[in-house]
Amino acid sequence: PYVIVCNHQASLDLMGMVEVIPEHCVPIAKKELLYMGTVGWACWLSGIIFIDRRRREEAIEVISQTARTMRRENVR
């Protein structure tokens, strides 16, 4: 497993990153994207894991759980 960090400036950058990111990748995004109408629906349907950056402990737990699942299922 590995981590790719992408710092994008606009929500439309996400569309371009989807073309670059390898298959079987687990994307993580800020929870605010979930409430952005069509973009939020598309992110949710594509399996993006959302973290709440305002709640640090909760965000760490979500990322830790994702890492454990990735190791157990041997996915990137």
What is the per-residue pLDDT across 3-28, written as a single tens digit (0 to 9) for each? 677 776 776 676 777 777 777 777 78
Per-domain residue ranges of the chain: 11-73
Q: Look at 9 and 36; give whichever has higher pLDDT.
A: 36
pLDDT value for 71: 83
Which own/partner pairs from 14-17 qualify as long-range (CB within 8 Å, at least 24 positions apart)?
Answer: 14/39, 14/43
Predicted confidence at residue 43, as pLDDT, reads 81
d(C-alpha 70, C-alpha 65), whole Å = 9
